[in-house]
Amino acid sequence: MVGPAGGRPVLLLRSLSFVVEPGEILGLIGESGCGKSLTLLSVLGLLPRGLAVQAGSVRLDGMELIGAPQRAMAAIRGRRVAIIFQDPQNCLNPSFTIGRQVGEALCIHKLARGRRAVRDRVVELLTEVGLPDPEGCMDRFPHQLSGGMQQRALIATALAAGPQLLLADEPTTALDVSVQAQIMELLRDVNRQRGCSIVLVTHDLALASQFCDRIAVMYAGQIVEEGSVANIVHRPAHPYTQGLLACLPMLGRRQQLRPIPGEIPTPDEVLAVGCAFAPRCRHRLQECTSAHIELHEATDGHRARCLLVRHSPQPVGPPT
């Protein structure tokens, strides 16, 4: 649970739980303001000033990260859990060369000593992320690279210390679709070859369904549905997931788009009890706004925060 430390309490994330297995790619899907990025930042202990984790725990390999001392967290950030952001241009320092910025991660975690060793290792990393002419890139400044190359350089920085878990926050949203495909392929290679788990945060359900093993759908600070890609995409149980699929333009399927009526609630509009999606839901029941709603198991490993799942043993089919 995440909310402002003082002042009027507004909960931004509420009873949010998920598990990332070793070597797994988990997709965290949701629209803007649903708390996807905050979730990643709270894992790393990097919440913006004024926000705090009010309850709950984050464990990495059994080790508790919430409330861990700063020094312990500094040893984990970058070394065991790394993050890449949406806009590579804003993440790279414009006044240092690529080589220096990738090398910095090695030096901080004392993984290479001496200029020669650091340089060799950085060239290896730049080669691994598929930058053409890695030697040349070392001495170039961020503005001399294209957006896709910048994102590759950033991935190299994230991989420098060999993390077990890579958090990718909309890594391709600022890129063209053909570059997006290349970057996603690179991330998949990283996942396969290094066995590194990835949490992919995105608003693009189609992208996640192509790339992830499992998907968790977020709405208004909660996970409303989670399951395998096939379950989420072909047997969505939560009306919000169904709505998202119905309004997602998909290529070669000139279907009529069916918009979800209404707007995304702001955090202080979300009811303290009941389902946050209820005001926009076509299947709303009376108790949807009064009862506390748990994640109900639809099938094995496929859970949805919806009373309809509890009411019917079969998951509700996609809307006709």
Partner 1 sequence: MSVRGPALVVAEGIARTYREDPSRLTRVLLRTPPRQVTAVAGVDLTIGTGETLGLVGESGSGKTTLGRLLVGLEPLDAGRVIVDGLEVGRLRGRERRRFRRRCQIVFQNPYASLNPRYSVRQLLGVALRLRGLRRSEQTEHAVRLLERVGLSRRHLDAYPRLLSGGQRQRLALARALATGARFLVLDEPTSALDVSIQAQILELLVWLRREEGLTYLFISHNIAVVEAISDRVAVMRAGRIVECGPTDQVVRDPQHPYTQALLRAVPRVPSASC
> Which residues here bind partner 1, judged by CB under 8 A?
31-32, 176-178, 180-181, 184, 203-207, 209-211, 229-230, 233-234, 243-245, 247-252, 254, 257-261, 263-264
Nearer to partner 1, 173 or 289 (CB): 173
Cα 272 off chain centre by: 25
Return d(Cα 6, Cα 136) in angstroms, integer.
Answer: 50
- Report the nearest approach of partner 1 to the CB of residue 278 (Å): 15
- Report the nearest approach of partner 1 to the CB of residue 67 (Å): 34
Nearer to partner 1, 31 or 294 (CB): 31
Can you name the residues that pair with 28 across neighbouring β-strands?
201, 216
- Report the nearest approach of partner 1 to the CB of residue 188 (Å): 12
Nearer to partner 1, 78 or 267 (CB): 267
- Report the nearest approach of partner 1 to the CB of residue 116 (Å): 34
Contacts 24+ apart (CB under 8 A), 14-20: 14/221, 14/222, 15/56, 15/222, 16/56, 16/218, 16/221, 16/222, 16/223, 17/56, 17/223, 18/216, 18/223, 18/226, 20/165, 20/197, 20/199
Nearer to partner 1, 138 or 187 (CB): 187
Q: What tokens appear for 112 in the block?
A: 């290479």
Q: What tokens appear for 167 in the block?
A: 């958090």
- Report which DSSP code applies to 266: P
Whether the Cβ atoms of residue 61 and residue 164 lie closer than 8 Å to each other:
yes
Nearer to partner 1, 251 or 272 (CB): 251
Return d(Cα 14, Cα 222) in angstroms, integer.
Answer: 6
- Report the nearest approach of partner 1 to the CB of residue 241 (Å): 11
- Report the nearest approach of partner 1 to the CB of residue 260 (Å): 4
- Report the nearest approach of partner 1 to the CB of residue 246 (Å): 8
Nearer to partner 1, 234 or 310 (CB): 234
Nearer to partner 1, 63 or 230 (CB): 230
Q: Where are the alpha helices (DSSP H) in the chain?
A: 36-44, 70-76, 88-91, 98-108, 115-128, 134-138, 147-159, 177-194, 205-211, 229-234, 239-246, 307-311
